[in-house]
């Protein structure tokens, strides 16, 4: 099992980090297999949900694709380390990274990106709200060269939200998504989904990703300049175990994140584009 304790705010470049784990020949083989993928799952106090999530992933038919699952934990200290140690005896593709620093869902996802061994990356939540059974469909869409990113969407035809989700959460989610669509200038229905599929090379083309708040997917779409955004319908399930992390602080961080990304689009990206032309 890969188990790293990450203390830095940002890790060294991906290639340097990965080559400490793999031989160069093995790395070259992995990078030449275009359909192999890494699932990045940030965790914090999700010890109750991890066994069921890992079991569901193991039951999905991924065909001949090689894959790994990177659980990136924010030092939960709830038995997650011991649990994952036991699970890796059964699931060889399960890997674990322990972050030891400021707790941040977005930074956990970025850490997963930097340690991913395969050319395609999936991100999803650990609370069972995202169905791993949808991953093959997402990968099939991402195989189309013109597609930049694939989103598991609650808000397109065929998508749905658990009826147990509180009305205030639904209204807040809809409003936040509306604001994000204005920023993207896109008809994407669920731009704040945390269930996405993207190529590692697309991520590498972005400016530095900042770990503000919890909507890293929106940051990716803005800074990777994703134009062809595809959505597939999913059922978004209500958390059954553990506590939701959403609170007022996170909501305020989202608004600050929107301001930061708006500034990036207007002043930084626009100035770079003007300079190139």
Fold observed for domain 3-276: Spore Coat Polysaccharide Biosynthesis Protein SpsA; Chain A (3.90.550)
- 78 close to 87: Cβ distance less than 8 angstroms: no
Residue 58 to residue 257: CA distance in whole angstroms: 35
Residues 6+ apart with CB under 8 A from 193: 151, 152, 153, 154, 217
119-36-11-123 Cα dihedral, nearest 10 degrees = 100
Report pLDDT for 17.
Answer: 37
Q: 73: burial class by Cβ within 10 Å (0-12, 13-18, 19+)?
A: buried
DSSP conformation class of 165: S
Domain ranges of the chain: 3-276
Report pLDDT for 242.
Answer: 56
Report pLDDT for 151.
Answer: 95
Token pair 């991953």: residue:
135
**What are the pLDDT tens digits along the chain (277 aa)?**
556 655 443 333 343 333 334 444 444 444 444 689 999 999 999 999 999 999 999 999 999 999 999 999 999 999 999 999 999 999 999 999 999 878 888 889 989 999 999 999 999 999 999 999 999 999 999 999 999 999 999 999 999 988 877 777 778 777 777 877 777 777 888 888 889 999 999 988 876 777 665 678 888 888 888 889 999 999 998 777 655 555 566 667 767 767 777 767 666 555 444 434 4
Q: What is the pTM of this model?
A: 0.78
Residues 6+ apart with CB under 8 A from 135: 37, 39, 60, 62, 122, 197
Report pLDDT for 11.
Answer: 36
């Amino acid at each position: 099992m890969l188990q790293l304790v990450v203390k830095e705010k940002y890790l060294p470049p991906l290639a340097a980090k990965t080559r400490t784990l793999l031989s160069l020949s093995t790395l070259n083989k992995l990078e030449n297999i275009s359909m192999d993928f890494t699932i990045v799952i940030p965790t914090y106090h999700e010890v109750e949900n991890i066994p069921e999530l890992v079991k569901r992933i193991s039951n999905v038919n991924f065909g001949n694709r090689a894959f790994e699952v990177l659980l990136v934990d924010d030092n939960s200290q709830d038995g997650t380390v011991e649990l994952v140690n036991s699970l890796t005896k059964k699931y060889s593709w399960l890997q674990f990274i322990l972050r030891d620093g400021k707790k941040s869902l977005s930074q956990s996802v970025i850490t997963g990106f930097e340690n991913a061994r395969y050319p395609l990356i999936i991100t999803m939540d650990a609370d069972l709200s995202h169905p791993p059974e949808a991953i093959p469909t997402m990968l099939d869409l991402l195989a189309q060269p013109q597609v930049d990113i694939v989103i598991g969407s609650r808000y397109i035809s065929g998508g749905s939200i658990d009826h147990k989700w509180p009305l205030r959460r639904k209204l807040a989610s809809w409003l936040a998504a509306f604001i994000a669509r204005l920023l993207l200038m896109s008809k994407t229905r669920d731009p704040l989904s945390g269930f996405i599929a993207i190529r590692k090379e697309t991520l590498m083309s972005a400016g530095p990703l900042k770990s503000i708040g919890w909507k890293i997917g929106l940051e990716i779409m803005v800074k990777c300049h994703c134009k062809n955004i595809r959505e597939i319908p999913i059922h978004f399930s209500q958390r059954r175990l553990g506590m939701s992390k959403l609170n007022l602080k996170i909501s305020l961080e989202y608004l600050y994140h929107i301001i930061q990304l708006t500034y990036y689009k207007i002043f930084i990206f626009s100035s770079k584009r003007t300079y190139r032309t």
